[in-house]
């Protein structure tokens, strides 16, 4: 997203606050004080760039800007365009630095600020990006491209309703903003609203026949309807176009799903490999492990080593009450694709249960208690005032994200909260822990097949062997924490949940402290009304779905990693 590309679409380049006039004004200001020869170079470069921009030829304009910048034409116009070029190449840090220079030359410029917000989003700094974009739309409410980028950011933060509102505001300002229609179509398809998805997709494609999000929405509906051939045709045609890197990853992932639906498993797996290879190429600069950036598995292993070396944690006395805290507190965890979304929606179907789906509710505690390499202080020795402060911040964040929970049961669902069990044990000794169990082979395969949002864990999932080793590392940590920490835990097996629903849910509810209700059976309607933002949306909406044993269709491809998973297959009772 940049001023020159209207954040995500070159088709709207001349629009939105008359971008070319604004950039020309910025350029004129930056030309003051230059020598006659330098001024002529600036004017000549600018004229060529603006000619390319008038033709919506951003690639040529960016190439001219890059040459101009190398020759000393340092002004917002060239900096912004070259930043766009860096961003397209996946060099987000380089793009960010150029945009900071542009902002120095043109302080407070909303076009540059919006571009910085977009780069922050792609760097995974979603909350910072949203705060910056909120400033942009407050300063210039007519900035449709900023509303569009704000929608992308809100989606990344799993604030779906707010994202829909932001896309709608963008369209109210610019009815020809195809990406906004595409995103609305994509959201509707994920929610199972086929009619709404098709209507929005058709609007997007009428403006831009190659709009990726609209095509994804239609492909998702094809796949759900078991029309793999239709999805394959759409996606292969889309892949022939000049897709942005993230869109290419998603197109390949969906193509793999479509091929899977057609029982072309070898072709499907090869396509998943292409998708993950593309993801790694795009994000290696910001996510690949390095000296100051340990892998996500290494992060987990550091925590494991500390729990192993340290003394068993002393059971905490009852914690003092916190204003606004829930009456019953549940952490639901396990591993991505293990069934946590299903259980979350089952529990959320009961009255007086509030559930949050994969929000970083423990962010404040993380900032204080976990270093970047996973090292932690002696949690037993934490001062009581620090514990009280972190507990209060947790509940304040929960209230901000999920609303009032006082007097209710609160379910904090995050598959990766197993990593934070030492912190949970110290801060919330009264909490109940639900641990999902599913066949590790199905879990690992599913993680490799999914197009997750960029993160250190998603980078681990882009390599099949690393996915298996990451799974092994987290299971080791969870089991060790159960042995050495004062935690109240209950296992829920996915296969038993779908095959023997009522007894499994009764036992789970009793552990949590909830009475049985027939409302638990309505989890699919709960998911439909709440909206599901995890990769499990389709499965949860269709009701009880036994996806067990899918790994057998890919047994040849999984063969090299089976020894890594073998101890967990035996321990969890999934060995053949």
Provide the angle, in degrees to the nearest 10, between the axes of the packed helices 265-287 and 440-449.
70
Which residues, in sequence order, are CB contacts of 546 under 8 Å at separation 6+?
Answer: 495, 498, 499
- Average pLDDT along the chain: 89
Phi and psi at 35, nearest 5°, equal -65, 165
Which tens digits make up the pLDDT trace of 127-165? 999 999 999 999 999 999 999 999 999 998 888 899 999
Averaged pLDDT for residues 341-366: 93
pLDDT at 78 > cutoff 80: yes
pTM of the model: 0.86
Which tens digits make up the pLDDT trace of 3-51? 333 333 333 333 333 344 444 444 444 445 556 767 888 888 989 998 9
Q: What is the pLDDT of residue 353?
A: 95
DSSP state at residue 326:
B
d(CA 572, CA 1): 46
How many CA atoms within 13 Å lie on the side-chain side of 111? Answer: 29
Average the pLDDT over each of 9-23, 274-288, 294-308 and give the range with the smallest value.
9-23
Q: Contact 276/253 with Cβ under 8 angstroms?
A: no
User: How many angstroms separate the Cα of 77 from the Cα of each of 12, 90, 93, 322, 521?
Assistant: 17, 20, 19, 52, 58
Q: What is the pLDDT of residue 539?
A: 57
Which tens digits make up the pLDDT trace of 364-392? 999 999 998 899 999 988 999 999 999 99
d(CA 500, CA 503): 6
Residue 325 DSSP SS3: coil
Question: Which tokens belong to 570?
Answer: 């035996």
d(CA 286, CA 567): 33
Across the strands, what pairs with 332?
Answer: 413, 434
d(CA 453, CA 458): 7
Beta strands in 392-473 (DSSP E): 409-413, 432-437
Which tens digits make up the pLDDT trace of 197-215? 999 999 999 999 999 999 9
d(CA 44, CA 87): 25
Q: How far apart are the first and last CA of the chain?
A: 50
Express as a percent the part of the chain with pLDDT over 70.
Answer: 90
Tokens 């009880």 belong to: 544
Average the pLDDT over each of 54-63, 390-399, 451-460 and give the range with the smallest value.
54-63
Question: Which tokens belong to 563?
Answer: 């020894």
Q: What is the pLDDT of residue 234?
A: 97
Beta strands in 368-478 (DSSP E): 409-413, 432-437
Which tens digits make up the pLDDT trace of 171-188? 999 999 999 999 999 999
d(CA 22, CA 300): 49
User: How many angstroms separate the Cα of 414 from the Cα of each of 14, 361, 435, 528?
Assistant: 43, 9, 11, 19
Q: What is the pLDDT of residue 415?
A: 96
d(CA 242, CA 61): 17
Q: Contact 4/95 with Cβ under 8 angstroms?
A: no
CA angle 456, 458, 463 (to 5 degrees): 105
Q: Contact 404/331 with Cβ under 8 angstroms?
A: no
Which tens digits make up the pLDDT trace of 97-106? 999 999 999 9
Task: Give me the helices (H) in 485-543, please.
Answer: 494-499, 501-512, 523-530, 537-541
Q: What is the pLDDT of residue 575?
A: 82
Which residues, in sequence order, are CB contacts of 161 under 8 Å at separation 6+?
Answer: 531
Provide the angle, in degrees to the nearest 10, between the axes of the packed helices 212-224 and 178-190.
20
Phi and psi at 492, nearest 5°, equal -125, 115
d(CA 399, CA 63): 48
Which tens digits make up the pLDDT trace of 339-349? 999 999 999 99
Q: What is the pLDDT of residue 34?
A: 55
Q: Contact 498/544 with Cβ under 8 angstroms?
A: yes
Kindly list the structural domains of the chain, giving each domain's residue range(s) and its CATH number in brackets, ordered by start.
Answer: 1-174 (1.25.40.10), 177-287 (1.25.40.10), 296-538 (3.40.50.300)
Express as a percent the part of the chain with pLDDT over 90.
Answer: 70
Averaged pLDDT for residues 240-252: 94
Which residues, in sequence order, are CB contacts of 165 under 8 Å at separation 6+?
Answer: none
Task: Give me the helices (H) in 194-241, please.
Answer: 194-207, 212-224, 228-239
Which tens digits make up the pLDDT trace of 509-546? 999 999 999 999 998 888 877 655 555 555 555 566 66
């Amino acid at each position: 997203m940049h001023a020159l590309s209207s954040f995500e679409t070159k088709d709207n380049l001349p629009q939105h606050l008359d971008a070319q006039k604004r950039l020309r004004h910025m350029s004129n200001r930056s030309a003051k004080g230059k020598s006659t020869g330098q001024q002529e170079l600036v004017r000549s470069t600018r004229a060529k760039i603006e000619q390319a921009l008038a033709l919506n030829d951003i690639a040529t304009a960016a190439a001219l800007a890059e040459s101009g910048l190398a020759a000393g034409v340092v002004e917002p116009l060239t900096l912004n365009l070259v930043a766009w070029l860096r961003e397209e190449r996946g060099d987000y840090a380089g793009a960010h630095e150029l945009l900071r220079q542009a902002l120095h030359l043109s302080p407070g410029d909303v076009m540059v600020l919006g571009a910085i917000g977009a780069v922050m989003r792609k760097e995974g700094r979603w909350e910072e990006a949203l705060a910056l974009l909120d400033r942009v739309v407050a300063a210039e409410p007519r900035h449709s491209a900023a509303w569009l980028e704000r929608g992308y950011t809100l989606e990344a933060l799993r604030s779906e309703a707010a994202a829909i509102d932001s896309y709608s505001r963008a369209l109210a300002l610019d009815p020809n903003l195809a990406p906004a229609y595409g995103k609305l179509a994509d959201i509707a398809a994920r929610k199972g609203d086929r009619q709404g998805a098709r209507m929005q997709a058709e609007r997007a494609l009428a403006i831009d026949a190659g709009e990726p999000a609209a095509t994804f929405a239609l492909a998702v509906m094809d796949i759900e309807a078991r029309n793999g051939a239709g999805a394959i045709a759409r996606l292969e045609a889309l892949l022939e176009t000049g897709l942005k890197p993230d869109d290419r990853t998603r197109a390949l992932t969906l193509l793999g799903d479509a091929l899977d639906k057609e029982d072309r498993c070898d072709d499907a797996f090869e396509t998943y490999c292409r998708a993950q290879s593309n993801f790694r190429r795009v994000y290696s600069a910001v996510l690949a492990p390095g000296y100051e950036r340990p892998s996500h598995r290494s992060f987990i292993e550091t925590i494991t080593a500390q729990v192993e070396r340290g003394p068993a944690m002393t059971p905490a006395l009852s914690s003092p009450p916190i204003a606004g805290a829930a009456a019953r507190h549940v952490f639901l965890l396990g591993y991505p694709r293990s069934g946590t979304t299903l259980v979350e929606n089952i529990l959320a179907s009961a009255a007086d249960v509030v559930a949050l789906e994969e929000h970083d509710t423990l962010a404040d505690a993380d900032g204080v208690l976990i270093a970047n390499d996973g090292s932690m202080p002696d949690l037993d020795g934490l001062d009581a005032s620090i514990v009280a402060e972190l507990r209060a911040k947790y509940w304040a964040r929960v209230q901000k994200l999920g609303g009032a929970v006082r007097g209710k049961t609160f379910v904090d669902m995050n598959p990766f909260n197993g990593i934070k069990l030492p912190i949970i044990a110290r801060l919330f000794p009264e909490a109940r822990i639900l641990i999902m169990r599913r066949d590790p082979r199905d879990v690992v395969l599913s993680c490799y097949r999914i197009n997750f949002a960029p993160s250190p864990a998603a980078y681990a999932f882009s390599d099949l062997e690393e996915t298996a080793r990451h799974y092994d590392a987290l299971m080791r940590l969870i089991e060790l924490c159960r042995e050495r920490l004062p935690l109240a835990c209950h296992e829920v097996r996915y296969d038993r949940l779908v095959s023997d629903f009522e007894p499994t849910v009764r036992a789970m509810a009793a552990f949590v402290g909830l009475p049985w209700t027939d409302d638990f059976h309505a989890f699919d309607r709960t998911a439909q009304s709440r909206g599901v933002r995890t990769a499990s949306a389709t499965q949860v909406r269709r009701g009880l779905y036994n996806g067990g044993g899918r790994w057998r269709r890919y047994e040849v491809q999984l063969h090299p990693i089976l020894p890594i998973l073998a101890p967990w297959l035996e321990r969890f009772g999934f060995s053949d």
